[in-house]
Structure 1
């Protein structure tokens, strides 16, 4: 399992944080967060209005980021047909901070800090509701997608998305259960 520096941490109830050091420069990483074509290569495409209150349409097409892979049964429909998720920009501070709503009850914040020729990325996903069982899924999902982003920025072959995601989901379910003293959800 590639944990690239450190695994995600459950930093508060309903909150997960991932920290990565990525190849820069800062503007290049910002483009991969905000440009729909670049974002589609590692996460989800779709238009983004570049302003606070701007609308975002996250267009997930896992078949494009994991071509030739057979998804797990539970993700087959999503993999083949894709889906879209509306979002609203909460913070727009180019090229350092981007935050938007995610799903119906959470938000995600990307904070970028230059570190010489590299860029420190801090991704924080917060649940605004009480859907705590979803938090390990956010951890494994973001970790899997950030592994793709790192490979793109480094120009290296990407890991097998679905195999990586399943390993990470099992890992984070166990970590979350240990951190919250709850039984792990089934994978």
Structure 2
């Protein structure tokens, strides 16, 4: 993918239930790798949880999305204050590739590629079990990547839940029913 194609940050379906979403971020690659693997950095954009960087290691990820903003943002109705999920490292090649299990889906792979002084982060979320999950994870990855981009560039973070609600509606219109 060329860098100009990254101006639309929306994910795309590479298979009917598999999302690919990319973001070009300021490097170096080791910095972005740390945002994937270090609990303190990861909680600033996604979820906390100490991650041992070895094949087969398990980690409990803990989301507190309303705390991604200061002041905290209001949660949409039906969304929990906290969400927990145990993931297992299925692939690891520091600082280029990390694969983890992800609930009932086919797993998530993070790939990092240097692009000059920047790093292309590609997330592949495989085999969402149903349309509702696909829409939730599409909006979720997009919104969380918006938080990551803001954090690594020192910009103001968007209101996470407001952004997620808007993005979920957008993905509902973008993806076939």
> TM-score under structure 2 normalisation?
0.91
Give, in angstroms, the shift of residue 106 of structure 1.
2.9
**1:110–1:122 CA contact under 8 A, matched in 2:** yes
Give, in angstroms, the shift of residue 131 of structure 1.
2.3
Give, in angstroms, the shift of residue 9 of structure 1.
0.2
Quote the Cα distance in structure 1 between the aligned partners of 2:136 and 2:66: 19
Quote the Cα distance in structure 1 between the aligned partners of 2:27 and 2:115: 9
1:50 to 36, 48, 53: 53
Give, in angstroms, the shift of residue 105 of structure 1.
2.8
Deviations along 1:97-151, whole A, 9 cap, x unmatched?
01101113331111000011100111110026x4243112111000000000000
**2:27–2:117 CA contact under 8 A, matched in 1:** yes
Please give the secondary structure, in 1, of the residue aligned with 2:66: helix
User: How do 1:37-116 residues align onto structure 2 when only pairs under 5 Å count?
Assistant: 37-66=40-69, 67-75=71-79, 78-79=80-81, 82-116=82-116
Please tell me the root mean square deviation across aligned C-alpha atoms, in Å. 1.4
**1:18–1:143 CA contact under 8 A, matched in 2:** yes
Partner of 1:185: none
**2:67–2:73 CA contact under 8 A, matched in 1:** no
Partner of 1:31: 34
Please give the secondary structure, in 2, of the residue aligned with 1:43: coil
Partner of 2:139: 140
Q: Is the deviation greater in 96-105 or in 38-47? A: 96-105
Structure 2 unaligned segments of length 5 or more: list them: 1-5
Q: Point out 4+ residue stretches in structure 1 off by more than 3 angstroms.
A: none
Structure 1 unaligned segments of length 5 or more: list them: 183-187
Quote the Cα distance in structure 2 between the aligned partners of 1:151 and 1:19: 15
Quote the Cα distance in structure 1 between the aligned partners of 2:33 and 2:66: 24
Deviations along 1:130-185, whole A, 9 cap, x unmatched?
424311211100000000000000000001111111110000011113xxxx2xxx
